[in-house]
A and B are shown apart, each in its own frame.
Chain A
Amino acid sequence: MKKSVFLGALTVAGFVAGSASAATLDDVQARGSLKCGSNSGLTGFAAPDANGHWEGFDVAVCRAVAAAVLGDPEAVEFVPTTPKTRFTALASGEVDILVRNTTWTLTRDVDLKFTFTGVNYYDGQGFIVPKALGVSSAKELDGATVCIQTGTTTELNLADFFRTNNISYEPVPIETNAEAQQQYLAGACDTYTTDASGLAATRASFENPADHAILPEIISKEPLGPLVRHGDDEWADIVRWTLNALVAAEEFGITSTNIEELASGTDNPEINRILGTEGTMGEMLGLEADWAMKAIAAGGNYGEIFEKNIGESTPIGLARGLNAQWKDGGLQYAPPFR
C-alpha cells in the first residue's frame, strides 16, 4: 500500500520536473540582460578595468551577442568562472553563454553536452620561462617544476608532451591564473604553461616583462571559442552567426566608423544582407533586422576587437598569426551570409 502511494507520487513528481529546457532567447529577452560566463581576470581577454567595466577580447563577444539580442552591448551580466566551475555554471543555466578561453574538444562537445559556436581565437599551449634560466626549448625542461592551471586541457597536453619526449617534470597544480603568476614570479616553479595567448597576457602584467621569454614550442592545438548548452539550436545559431558577422565585417571592410554610412545601403548585396537592409535574416534568427549592425557597432569588427584588446599595439602584443582573415593566410573564415 505504502509502496504504491510512493511510486505514484514519484510519477507525479517526474511529470512536474519534466518541464525544463526553455528557449534561452526568450529567457534573455525577458530578463533584459545576457548572463555571460567569463574569465575571472585575464588581461586583454576578460578583466574589469579601473572603473569595474569589463573589457577584453572574450568580453567583446558577449557584448556583441547582447547588442544583437537586446540592442544594448551594456546589457551583460558577467559571471567570473574558474576552469573548474565554468562547465557546471553553463550546464546548470547559471550563464547563457560561456566565453572563457575554452578549448573546443570532442569530449566537451559530445560528452559534456555543449555546443561550440565557432572559434574566436586559434591558440596553442606554450611555456614561459625567466630568461635567467637559460632555457631556449621546451625539450630542455627535463626535471623542471611546472606550474599549471588545474582543470584545463593544458594539464593533459602537458602530461602527453613530457611523456612522448621521455622527460620528467614536477607538476604544481594551481587554481587561478593570479596564483600561478605569484608562484612563478617567486621562483616556486621554473616555468608556467597555459595557452600562448594567456601567457602573453600574463607576461604583460609583470613588472619586467622583458625578463621572461615564451618558448618556441607550441605543444597543442587550442581552438578557443564561445559555447552554449546542447539542445537549444536557435540560441546556438544566434551566437554562431554573431561571431560570423564580426569576422565577415572585417572581410567586407565594415568597421565601427563606417557602419552608419554603409547601413544606408551599398552596391554590395552581401554587406546589405549582413546589415539588414536587404533580406530577412534577422527574422530567421528571431531577432531585429539590424541585429548584426548593432553587434558590429558594439565593439567594431573582428579585426578591430583584436587590435584594441590583444593586438600588437597593446602591451599584450599578439600577432594575428592563425587568426588573420583567410584571405591573409589565416584561419578566420566566415561562411556566406546568404
Chain B
Amino acid sequence: MTTATDPEGGTFRPSMLIYDSRYRSATIQIVALIGFLLLIGWLVSNTVQNLADLGKSVGFGFLTEPAGYDINQRLLDYDSRDSHARASLMGLLNTLLVAVLGCIMATIVGVIVGVLRLSNNWLVARIMTVYVEMFRNVPVLLWIVFSMAILIETLPAPSAFRGDEPSASMLLGDSVALTNRGVYVPEPLFGRMDEEGHPLTWRQGLGDIHLFGEAWFRFDVSLELVVFLSTLIAGILVSRLIGQRADRIQNSTGVRPKTFWLRAAVIVVPSVIVLWLMGFYLGKPALRGFNFDGGTHLRNSFIALWLALSLYTAAFIAEIVRGGILAISKGQTEAAAALGIRPRRIMSLVILPQAMRVIIPPLISQYLNLTKNSSLAIAVGYMDLTGTLMGITLNQTGRELEAVMMTMLIYLAISLAISGAMNVYNNRVKLKER
C-alpha cells in the first residue's frame, strides 16, 4: 500500500485496516475475495473428489471418437461414422440457423405489431394487443409443443399424396408439398444431369471446393454460389457508381437524370446471365417411396421451433418498439405533420430513427433470450447443440461434466458475440452528442 507516502504520515497499525476509512474498503474487498475463492475451491475440489470416488476422469478424448448416431437436419455433410466433435458442430449450426432466422422474423413481426398497436384503427390495435398478451403470457415451451402438435395432426401424411385419387395435392404447380413430416420446397440446382450423371446440356455447374480435408470442421463451398454472389455484389457496386454520377449531375445542373432502369439492369441482367450459363434450375420435390424426394426439406421440428420462438419473442419486441415510439415527444410528429409529411413517412423518417436509440438496448436481450430459448428444441426433436452434444453425445459417452461445460461455453460465446455485434450497431445509431 501507499502508507509511506501518505501526507498525514504516522505509523501503520493493523487495527487501521478496520477503523481507518482509507483502508477499510480494501480490507472488506480482500476478505470477500478470499471467501469467494474458498467457495470456488471447495466446489472444484468437491467435484474432483466425487469424480475420483466414482473412478471417473475428466478428458475430452471422446470428441474424436465416432459418434455412431445419425442427425436428420445437417447443414454440412455428416454420417454416423463421423466424430462426436463433428456431430456437435452439426448441432451448433442448427442452433445458429434457428437463432438467426428466429431473430430476423421476430424483428419483422415485432416491429409491425408494435407500430400497429399504436394504430388509430381500433380493431387493428386491439387484435395486436390480444396477440401480444397471448404470446407473452404463455411459456414458450408450450408454444413450441403446440406448434408441433398442430403441424403433425392437421397436415396430411405423405401417403395421402399417393394413388389415383389422392386426398392431398401439392401447391404452386406441384412444387411445394405441405406434409406432417415437414414442408418440401424446390431447391436451386445447377447443371442438369441424366440418370447416369452425364450432363444433359453444354451448360454445367462448377461443383464444390472441399476445405480442410478430413478434419471435423471441414466444409464444402459451392462455386456456383460464390460466382453468383460476386456477380450480384459487383452489380450493386456498379449501380451505386451510377447513382453517385447522377448525384454529381444533379448537383451541377439541378436536373437528376433518370437512372432507375439502368441501375436495375446492371444488377439483374448479369446475375441472370451467370445463372443461365451455370445451368440453373429448380429441383422440385416428388413423391418417391415413403417420402418426398428432392427439393429442400424444412422439417416440422424446425418450423415449429422457428415459428414458436419468433412469434413469442416478437410479442416482447412489439412492446419494446411501442415503448420506443411512445418515448419520442409528440411534438416531433406534429412538427413533421406541419411540414406536410404523410403519416407513414413520419413514422419511417422521423419517429423510428429516433426511437431506435431506445429500442436497441432491450432488443439485444430479446435476441439473447431467443438464442438461449432455442435449447428447448429437444421438446420437438430438433437436433440443436443441446440435442447433440448435451443430448446424445453426453448420453452415449457418459461425459456429463465435459459435455455440459462445453455446451455452456459455446452458448456463452454465441451470446457474447450477439451482444458485441449489437453494441457496435447501437453505437452507430445512438444520438451523436457534441
Interface, chain A (partner B; CB < 8 A): 2, 5-6, 9-10, 13-14, 17-18, 20-21, 83-84, 87-88, 91, 107-108, 111-113, 132-133, 141-145, 150-151, 155-156, 158-160, 162-163, 169-175, 182-183, 186-190, 230-231
Contact = CB atoms under 8 A, between A and B. Distances in A.
Given A113-B54, A144-B290, 12 more contacts: A2-B30, A13-B41, A20-B53, A84-B395, A107-B396, A150-B391, A151-B392, A151-B395, A174-B381, A175-B378, A175-B379, A231-B55
Given A144-B291, A150-B392, A163-B80, A88 B400 contact: yes
Contact of B152 (A84, A156, A186): A186
B37 interface: yes
Contacts, number: 138
Contacts of B300: 188
A98 B293 CA distance: 43
A143 B41 contact: no
Given A2-B34, A231-B55, A17 B180 contact: no
B235 to A, nearest CB: 39
A16 to B, nearest CB: 8
Interface string B303-320: 000000000000000000
A108 B44 CA distance: 26
A313 to B, nearest CB: 35
A108 B391 CA distance: 16
Contacts of A169: 70
Contact of A173 (B34, B45, B293, B381): B381
A183 B49 contact: no
Nearest to B44: A10
A183 B138 CA distance: 24
17 contacts: A9-B41, A13-B42, A13-B45, A13-B46, A14-B49, A107-B396, A107-B397, A150-B378, A151-B391, A160-B80, A163-B79, A172-B381, A187-B159, A188-B152, A188-B181, A231-B54, A231-B55
B157 A150 contact: no
A108 B159 CA distance: 40
Nearest to A88: B400
Contacts of B396: 107, 151, 155-156
A9 B38 contact: yes
Contact of B50 (A20, A133, A162): A20
Contacts of B46: 13, 17
Nearest to A84: B395
A6 B152 contact: no
A6 B38 contact: yes
Nearest to B79: A163
B258 interface: no
Interface string B164-182: 0000000000000000110
A5 B30 CA distance: 13
B389 interface: no
A10 B395 contact: no
Contacts of B69: 155-156, 159, 171
Given A17-B49, A183-B152, A230-B55, A159 B68 contact: yes
A45 to B, nearest CB: 20
